[in-house]
């Protein structure tokens, strides 16, 4: 990008010195996330409202308590394998951006752009917008105890929640991470409370549901696949730490450790929480319940059921906060690689946060609030995410063959990403079979990224157009007090080329 105002120029443009704008001498995103922060981000992303509201997908398809718990464990192991592959990729390519970076190294610029494009247009805006509406519904429940809140009110509260989260992320990364610590602690303690109540029930002899626990199991291949599919998405979120790899302290150590610790904690907690639910509720009662944790507490400690809406709202808010923190770095990195407008690669010189990227997210998420039934678009997210995982794991297999000298602090056997690629391909096919219309629309949106790439990235723009774009960038820099990261705006440190001399 041409003619960007640097840090000193912007200070002069504001009529002051650099020190009047920021006390920091270097404009960059600092490494501030330690091992505990890594664990909190992943747990905060995985543990959302689902485990409290409707952890029924697996039970619906397999039909028995024993097979349901077994499937939760199997999905946890599978998620661990996925996360270990991401840990290998993140440790050998310690740059923020997640799938975008890995796909770029494996498959080149166009496919990397499309992986970013689908996050920009579909995955992130739809997922966060849907979460914000769930947050709004449960926040408004005390005001509308006997009916659903009006949709307009839900949208207003949802937009305010997104605005609050984006504002916090713009103001201070430290505040964001501390908020994530607090919310994650509340989630885990709430689940521990559910587990303790369940264990007390079992200790008091309420074990009827665990006798002949595999009776009525549906062992058909279709049911098993659908149960696994449902459980797989219940573990969604383990990949978000890789979006902020560049801000992790000692990423080659803390990234894999954080991933492994988090997945183990979540898997054990999910299994124990489901055991607790089954200690008080039959599979039929769980399937018929609109909010499982409320039904559970009504059978055990009824007065506590009144705090459930606040608990669910808090859980959803934490997931939204983690998503905004993580995905904003994806767009920031994509802009540094010239796949998005240069202003998105800028950092606020006051707060050292990617303010332009965060504002871009706010606009996209807010716009999704007005598309009608946002939840009808969720399957588009599932298809897009499955396709991304296929690309990542296939790319990991390719890199093991084409770049054997790439420094890998963690090494996963070749068979693991190959196996995961096949399973994710099956998940992709199941998604297409279940929701062909939504998947077709997702394909249209993804292919729409091709002309966007050709026009935005490949087309050499006439000087008159480029000058106007540069003027807009300068104006936005001054308006937002933003600057490119010092000395490394151009990304040339490709780990694949760095190791080429070893071959």
- Partners of 484 in the beta sheet? 346
pLDDT at 497: 47
Looking at 337-377, list the stretches that DSSP marks H as alpha helix, in order from N- to C-terminal side: 355-368
Please report whether residue 11 resides in a domain.
no
Please report whether residue 308 resides in a domain.
yes
Please report whether residue 280 resides in a domain.
yes
Nearest to 232 by CA among 416, 389, 446, 100: 389
Number of domains comprising the chain = 1
pLDDT at 224: 86
Half-sphere exposure of 30 (CA within 13 A, CB side): 14
pLDDT at 320: 92
Say if residues 477 and 346 touch (Cβ distance below 8 Å): yes
**Distance, CA of 429 to CA of 413 (rounded, Å):** 25
Ordered DSSP codes for 54-66? -TTHHHHHH-SHH
**Distance, CA of 102 to CA of 258 (rounded, Å):** 19
Structure tokens at 31: 């490494």
CATH number of the domain to which 152 belongs: 1.20.1740.10
Token pair 């099956």 is found at: 426
Angle, helices 415-434/378-402, rounded to nearest 10 degrees:
160
Please report whether residue 15 resides in a domain.
no
**Distance, CA of 173 to CA of 29 (rounded, Å):** 9
pLDDT at 317: 92
Predicted TM-score (pTM) of this structure = 0.85
pLDDT at 9: 53
Q: Determine the structural domain holding residue 134 and report its residue range.
A: 31-458
Token pair 């704008």 is found at: 21
pLDDT at 341: 92
Please report whether residue 478 resides in a domain.
no
pLDDT at 21: 45
**Distance, CA of 267 to CA of 273 (rounded, Å):** 10
DSSP designation for 33: B
pLDDT in tens, the chain (503 residues): 433 555 445 444 444 444 444 444 577 777 788 899 899 999 988 887 777 766 677 888 888 889 989 999 999 999 999 999 999 998 888 888 889 999 999 999 999 999 999 999 988 999 899 899 989 988 998 888 888 889 899 999 999 999 999 999 999 888 998 999 999 998 889 889 989 999 998 988 888 888 888 888 888 888 888 888 888 878 888 889 999 988 888 888 898 899 889 999 999 999 999 899 999 888 888 888 777 888 888 888 888 878 888 888 888 899 999 999 999 999 999 999 999 999 999 998 888 899 999 999 999 999 998 887 777 777 788 888 889 999 999 999 999 988 888 888 888 899 999 999 999 998 888 888 888 888 899 999 999 999 999 998 888 888 888 889 889 999 999 998 888 876 544 444 455 544 432 22
Please report whether residue 64 resides in a domain.
yes
Q: Which long-range contacts (CB under 8 A, 24 or more apart) does 419-424 make?
A: 419/81, 420/78, 420/81, 420/82, 420/85, 420/389, 420/393, 421/389, 421/390, 421/393, 421/394, 421/397, 423/78, 424/386, 424/389, 424/390, 424/393
pLDDT at 168: 95
Which run of H or E residues covers position 13?
helix 7-13
pLDDT at 113: 95
pLDDT at 489: 42
Please report whether residue 503 resides in a domain.
no
Residue 321: partners with Cβ closer than 8 Å, 6 or more residues away: 44, 165, 168, 169, 176, 179, 180, 183
């Amino acid at each position: 990008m041409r003619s960007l105002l640097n840090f000193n120029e912007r200070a002069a443009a504001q009529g002051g010195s650099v020190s009047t704008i920021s006390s920091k001498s270097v404009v960059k995103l600092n490494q501030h996330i330690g091992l505990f922060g890594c664990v909190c981000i992943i747990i905060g992303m995985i543990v959302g409202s689902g485990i409290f509201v409707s952890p029924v997908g697996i039970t619906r398809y397999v039909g028995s308590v024993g097979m349901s718990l077994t499937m939760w464990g199997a999905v946890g192991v599978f998620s661990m394998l996925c996360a270990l592959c991401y840990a290998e990729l993140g440790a050998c390519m310690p740059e923020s951006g997640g799938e975008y970076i890995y796909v770029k190294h494996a498959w080149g610029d166009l496919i990397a752009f499309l992986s970013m494009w689908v996050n920009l247009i579909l995955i992130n805006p739809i997922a966060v917008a849907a979460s914000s509406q769930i947050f709004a519904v449960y926040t408004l429940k005390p005001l509308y105890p006997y009916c659903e809140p009006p949709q307009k009110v839900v949208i207003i509260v949802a937009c305010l929640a997104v605005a609050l989260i984006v504002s916090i992320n713009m103001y201070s990364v430290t505040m964001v991470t501390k908020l994530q610590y607090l919310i994650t602690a509340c989630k885990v303690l709430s689940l521990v409370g559910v587990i303790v109540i369940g264990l007390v029930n079992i200790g008091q002899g309420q074990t009827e549901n665990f006798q002949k626990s595999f009776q009525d199991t549906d062992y058909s291949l279709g049911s098993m696949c659908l149960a696994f599919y449902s459980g797989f998405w219940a573990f969604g979120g383990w990949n978000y730490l890789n979006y902020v790899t560049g801000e992790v302290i000692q990423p080659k150590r803390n990234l894999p450790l954080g991933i492994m610790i988090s997945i183990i904690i979540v898997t054990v907690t999910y299994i124990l929480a489901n055991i607790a639910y089954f200690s008080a509720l039959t599979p039929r009662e769980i399937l018929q319940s609109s909010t499982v944790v409320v039904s559970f507490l009504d059978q055990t400690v009824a007065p506590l059921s009144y705090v459930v809406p606040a608990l669910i709202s808090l859980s959803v808010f934490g997931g939204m906060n983690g998503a905004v923190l993580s995905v904003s770095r994806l767009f920031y990195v994509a802009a540094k690689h010239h796949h998005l407008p240069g202003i998105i690669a800028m950092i606020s010189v006051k707060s050292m946060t990617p303010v332009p990227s965060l504002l871009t997210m706010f606009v996209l998420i807010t716009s999704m609030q007005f598309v009608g039934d946002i939840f009808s678009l969720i399957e588009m997210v599932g298809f897009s995410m499955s396709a991304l995982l296929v690309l990542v794991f296939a790319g990991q297999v390719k890199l093991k063959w084409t770049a054997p000298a790439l420094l890998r602090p963690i090494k996963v056997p070749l068979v693991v990403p190959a196996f995961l690629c096949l399973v994710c391909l099956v998940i992709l096919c199941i998604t297409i079979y279940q929701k062909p219309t939504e998947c077709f629309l997702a394909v249209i949106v993804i292919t729409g990224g091709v002309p966007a790439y050709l026009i935005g990235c490949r087309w050499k723009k006439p000087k008159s157009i480029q000058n106007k774009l540069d003027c807009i960038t300068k104006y936005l820099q001054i308006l937002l007090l933003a600057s490119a990261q010092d000395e490394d705006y151009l990304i040339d440190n490709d780990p694949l080329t760095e190791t080429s001399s070893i071959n």
